[in-house]
Every structure is written in C-alpha cells, then in structure tokens.
Amino acid sequence: MHEFSIWAPSVDKIQLRIGETTHPMTGPDSKGYWRATIEDARAGTEYAYLVDDDPHPYPDPRSLRQLQGVHGPSCVYDRKAFGWTDDTWQGPPLTGAVIYEMHIGTFTVDGTFDAAIEKLGYLRKLGVTHLEIMPVAAFAGDRGWGYDGVALFAVQECYGGPDGLKRFVNACHIHGLAVILDVVYNHFGPVGNYTGKYGPYITDKHHTPWGDAMNFEDKGSDEVRRFFCDNALMWLRDFHVDGLRLDAVHEFMDRSAVNFMEQMSAEVDVMSATVGRRLVLIAESDLNDPKVVRPREAGGYGMDAQWSDDFHHSLFTLLHVEEGGKGYYDDFGAFECLAKSLKNMFVYDGMFSIYRDRTHGRPIDGLSAHHFIGFIQNHDQVGNRATGDRLEQIVGLDRAMVAAGVVMTAPFIPMIFMGEEYAASTPFLYFADHDDPEMAKLVSAGRKKEFAAFGWDDNQIPDPEAPSTFTNSRLKWEEVCEGAHAAMLDWYTKLIHARRASNSLNDGDTGHVKVTFDEDKRWLVMDRGLTRSICNLGDAAEFDNPAGLRLLLASKEGVELEGDKVHVPANAFVLLSGESD
C-alpha cells in the first residue's frame, strides 16, 4: 500500500495513472494537496499524473526516482530500505575542513558513484576531510554539470540512482570523509520541468539569469518553500549527507520577514539535533554581505559558510592577465587586493566596483574566517573558460604551486577542485545533453555570449552538446604517478597535512592575520601565529625571519636560511614555522 500526494492548487481535477489504470484523487485540501491510497502500489511501481483534461501524463515534482528519465513516469522508492553501516559516524568539523569538489560523471571513466568509491582511499591519503559533490538531482539527458536539475528529489540514474548515492556516502563515512551535496534552489533546468502544470513554483515578478525566479514570497510561496526545505532535509536525513552547498543564493528573490535561507537554516538545525550529527549549509553568494553567514541570533541568515570569490579573483589576476576583455577581473590585479582578501575576506566591502559600476559589499565585522571558503580553482573558474584549461596549463607549474601554498595557508577554509591536486592535463569543459535541438542551440549561443566579455571568440569554444566535450573532461588517473603530476600531488599532500597539523593555520581569527606586500617587487608575506607564508611572484629576494623560524615547506629548490634572513627564488612559495614538530 502506498499513499500518493501531490500539491496542485492550480488545477480543477487530477488523476493518478499506474500502467493503463487511472485512479481518482481526492482534494484539494486547504493547502492545495490531492491524495490517493493504492493498495497494491509498492517500491518499483511507476506512476504519473493526469492534470485537468490534458491527456499527457506528467511526473511527480517530488518523485524519488525517474527510471525512464525526467520526462517519463515517476517510480515509488522505499527510502528506508538501505542497509547503512555508519551509525556511529560523526564527521570532522567544517572549521578544520579541507574540501575537495568533484563531478561524479567525470571523476572516473565509468562516471558512477560506485567507481568513485574506489578512489576514496586516495582522497583520504591526500588529507581532504570533506567531499563536495556537484549536483546529482535528476536532469535531462545523460551528461551535464547538474545545475539544470528538474526532478530535485530523484538522483540521476546514470550515476547509480538513489542507492548508488547511499553506497557512496556510506563508504565515504567508513573512510572518515564527510559529504557535502551541491543543490540548486534558484532555478529549474530548461528541459523536463513540469512543476508549472501543478502550481506557482515560479513567479514572473522577479527575474534571474535563467528566467523567472522561484516563488519564495508571492501567493502560494509557503508550499514552494516547503518543497525546497523538504528537499534539503531529505538529503540530510535519508542520504546521510553532512551538508549542502546552495548554488547562487544571490538569485533568491525574497523580501519575506523570514528569509528562505533563515527558514532552511532553522529547520536544518532541528534536523541536526534529531539525527545527532552536525549538519552544515554553505552558500554561493556574490553579494559580499556578511548577513548570509551571520548567525540567525545576530540577525543573519544562518549559513555556516560561503564561497569567497574575491580571494580567487585577487590571486588569479596576479598569476595571469587575460587577453582582451576581463569581465569581473577588471576589479582586481593588485597585491593590495590579495592582502585585503586574506585579512578581510571581502575586497569589495563598501568600495566602488568598476565592473558593477556601483558601490559593492560591506565589511565582515569580526566574523571568523571559517565562515568563508577559498580556492584558486572550482567548477566555475575552470569550466567557464572557453577551453576548460586548468591553472597549471595557464600559468605553469611553479606559479600553480605558489597558488596552492597561498590557498592552503590562508585563514579561511580551503577547497580544491578534482584533479587540481595533481595538475591534471584534462580540461573541465561545459557539457550538456539536451534532447531539444532548439534548446541545444540556445545553450551554445548563450555560452558564446558569456565568453564574449572575456575576449574569447566562437572558435575556441567546444560544442557543449558533443559527447567528446564530456569524455574529454574525464580525469586520467594514470597521470598521478608521472613527472610534474606526481610532483604537484606531493606538494598538495604536504601542504594539506601541514595545515591540518598546525594550530596557527587552523586559527580563523582574522585579528591574528598580518599581511605585508610589495606591489612593485611582487611579493606578499602572511604571518599567522607561529607561521610565516612567503609568496614571491617577482625576482629572487631576501625576506626577514626575525623569530628564527624553521623551513617547513618550499615549492622549489633554492630556498636558503641564513641567520634572520631567508632567500626565496622567483615564483616560489615558502612556509616557515615556529611550532614544535
């Protein structure tokens, strides 16, 4: 027996179809829900809904499984049937995390959860603590980044479906790795979204880069918010994930007295108490507004952390100058910016932005750096380049090692993108698999328009719909032990383990960070407790070592300590320490 329930306040009648049989549904109730109980329905039963007089059957917006893709019927799934073995799991704290972002489809040749499990020992040895998985909610086709999901409660079947995800999370926990899942609540994908058949999930009162905004404040928004909060709680409860990363929260259009993020944060806190595990929420936001991560008790939205784009832009523009238009990089390019991002997180904290042509941001006002996540590569910063080229391919091995050193010794939580740790030769390109030819054309045209701001021409951009664009993005694991790849892997491993073993490098108090720099000589020195990080992107130079710190790590040969001085070669990173071994 199974009870079917569907929120459909916008329809006059709705029927449940199972096979060739149609069942009437009772409703709507006061909240707009229709229901039907079917005695012989069980796990594996496929079903769909007939709306008003439309003869076409539509899937359930809350479907837990889409065996035949997002256009096909939904499938009843027993969410409690899996045999978990992680009952005693308590994940590592986010404040001491080293995050590894990954895309399941290109992480291995097979592109499945089960294949990814085979690499967990490698990731544990590397020293990462949290795996951040790009979205796995069901989307149209078999290839995609996941940000075009439409069946948000179902897991993409080509990755292994819901049981595959559970096996992966369970295995991660056995290996001591926490799992953060990327979710998209700012838009539905352009193909396969049938929520409009049932109710006002979307409003035309606000607009986003992907079209009309999600309805978080208009008529019917209570149940829309319930839909997304229930989705978040499902991943945390039923799939045992340790946290969620919320995509582009700056596109949440919500003027409610209780913001959607605040509501979600409060409900996740209750879920955390219920399951007895620390659960976290991470936001992607370009607002430079500390309210996003400020605790609810202090008038904030209660997100635990947010991505720090200002740091990425500050560091990248010192390593490389783009030809042609620079887009948002116009606001960066000075060591002063990098220094400010290390000390204050936001470079634009009330300053005028050339790119935006307005004043942007506000100061973090004493918040811990552990509310912010820093990186030099991620899926956007690699995949949104015309050829998906990675940092080492752009700036060379020496400078990529310097960048890694800065990221891993900075006060915020560090994150690396899959393959970054061994300077993977494979690109990470934008790929998709739209079954609508017109949509495929629009996607390609949209990518070309986006790249135009950076001066890239059409011929540089691989076709997102071509299968080769996807397969060319798969990591080549045979590279890990070869030449420069092995050298980079060794460097990242040493950096990660040094960070995790250091009290100074795990201190999130920005008041304990001191940064000096020389714009002309192109170097920066960062003191954190008993450590000193030296980033030298200029000529070989001597730096002070007044406390007689010992050399802990150097990205290249030629570093010499003489008395209270340390000689650092060009394009090198050095970590000095006064902490005991």
Check 247, 392, 421, 507 and give the catalytic one: 247
Phi, psi of 564 (to 5 degrees): -100, 25
Q: Is 512 annotated as a binding residue?
A: no
Tokens linked to 128: 């990462």
Active site residue 247: yes
Active site residue 286: no
Helices then strands, counting H and E runs in the chain, come out as 14, 28
Beta strands in 227-361 (DSSP E): 243-246, 280-283, 305-307, 351-353, 358-360
Q: Is 182 annotated as a binding residue?
A: no
Q: Is 248 annotated as a binding residue?
A: yes
Tokens linked to 290: 């500390």
CB under 8 Å, gap of 24 or more: what pairs does 352-357 form? Answer: 354/330, 355/327, 355/328, 355/330, 355/331, 356/331
Sequence letter at residue 402: V
DSSP state, residue 93: P
List the beta bridge partners of residue 307: 373
| Residue in this structure with the two tokens 């790929």, named with its chain if needed | 431
Q: Is 313 annotated as a binding residue?
A: yes
Q: Is 87 annotated as a binding residue?
A: no
d(C-alpha 573, C-alpha 581), whole Å: 20
Q: Is 16 annotated as a binding residue?
A: no
Residue-wise DSSP of 344-380: HS-S-SSEEETTTTEEE----TT--GGGEEE-S--HH
Q: Is 56 annotated as a binding residue?
A: no
Give the Å distances, CA to CA, from 340 to 81, 353, 400, 523. 51, 15, 21, 14
Q: Is 62 annotated as a binding residue?
A: no
Check 182, 284, 392, 420 and give the catalytic one: 284
Q: Is 311 annotated as a binding residue?
A: yes
Q: How many angstroms separate the most distant Cα atoms in the chain?
A: 86
Tokens linked to 223: 């149940």
Q: Is 247 annotated as a binding residue?
A: yes
d(C-alpha 438, C-alpha 440), whole Å: 5
Q: Is 421 helix (H, G, I), strand (E, B) or coil?
A: helix
Phi, psi of 428 (to 5 degrees): -125, 105
SS3 string of 208-229? ECCEEEECCCCCCHHHHHHHHH
Phi, psi of 24 (to 5 degrees): -70, 155
Q: Is 240 annotated as a binding residue?
A: no
Q: Is 379 annotated as a binding residue?
A: yes
What residues contact 574, with CB distance under 8 A and at least 6 apart?
405, 533, 534, 536, 543, 551, 553, 554, 555, 559, 566, 568
Catalytic site positions: 247, 284
Annotated binding-site residues for substrate read 245-250, 309-313, 379-384
Annotated binding-site residues read 245-250, 309-313, 379-384
